[in-house]
Amino acid sequence: QPLSAGGLYFPSSGWVSPAHWCEALYSLSGARLWLNTEVHAMAQESPQSRNHGWQLQVTGDHSGEHAFDAIVIANANGANALLPHQPMPLKSIRGQVSYVASAASPALVVCGEGYVTPGQQGVFAVGASYNLHTDDEHLSGQDDLDNLVRLTEVLPLNKELGLDSVMGGRVGFRAVTPDYLPMVGELADESQLLERFAKLRQDANYKFADNMPFLTGLYINAGHGSKGLISAPLSAEILASQMANQSLPVAQCVAWGLDPNRFIIRDLIRRKR
């Protein structure tokens, strides 16, 4: 079908169903999945402990207190619920995808201001809205209308479609950082970091002999915004390498650019903390 503008054509490009892809990754991982289980609190074992592990208090099917050598926080905007004394600079941005019924679906994914996927089970997906000012989890008719506009902007053959063609949708909340890069790595103790590197307020180039006061065994993989299907797997590989003390799959400067403690350092240099 005709496009509204020219573009780049990738005949071998692919697309995935996120849910099915995650299921496939899990089935290959050999991991154990605990469903119907909620983490209510976590605490690091005492410094006198041999392995500096972590205690998690959970409810549900695996109710009780469980010990782990390491924890990776990977629950997007929910990270702050687990770190009440060390809030993460994550911003929640609502997005809605609309499922549209039409025989005129494209054969490949088409991307412009929005995106349109090929048809599957009688509908194709159009998205996604971008709303900073609401945390409403319910589907919005206005967002459906906005998505139909996105659709016709890239595929004008669908300009006659109205709300009656929308067969459902999905609402999600992107987790975004101030610099739009994810937070990937081991977390440091915020209060100790502020005290140890206080001289950065006077000299941004001050050379420290002290190491970062890491909370040993506590990692984060969050803040992927709209690009998580691309960035999250590589970030997980970075974390696995850090945890196993192996060579990183990216340049060291990339790992530093993703370090979750970078915002505290920047605030010190800018004298905001």
Using one digit for the tens of pLDDT, what is the confidence trace for 184-198? 999 999 999 999 999
End-to-end Cα spacing for the chain: 55
More confident residue, 16 or 188: 188
Identify the pLDDT of residue 47: 60
Cα–Cα separations (whole angstroms), residue 92 to 146, 184, 222: 20, 18, 12
Residues 172-194, mean pLDDT to the nearest whole number: 95
Q: For the segment 80-137, what is each residue's pLDDT rounded down to a tens digit? A: 999 888 889 999 999 999 999 977 788 889 998 889 999 888 899 999 999 988 889 9
- Whole-number Cα distances in Å, 74 to 46, 125, 149, 186, 218: 24, 26, 33, 12, 11
128 upstream amide cis, omega within 30 of 0: yes
In this predicted structure, what is the pLDDT of residue 48?
56
**Mean pLDDT, rounded, for 265-270:** 92
Question: In this structure, what are the phi and psi dihedrals at residue 66, rounded to the nearest 5 degrees?
Answer: -130, 140
* Residue 60 pLDDT: 95
Q: How many CA atoms lie within 13 A of 249 on its CB side?
A: 12
Q: What is the mean pLDDT of residues 205-213?
A: 84
Q: Is the pLDDT of residue 50 over 70?
A: no
The span from the CA of 182 to the CA of 219, in Å, is 13
pLDDT at 51: 63
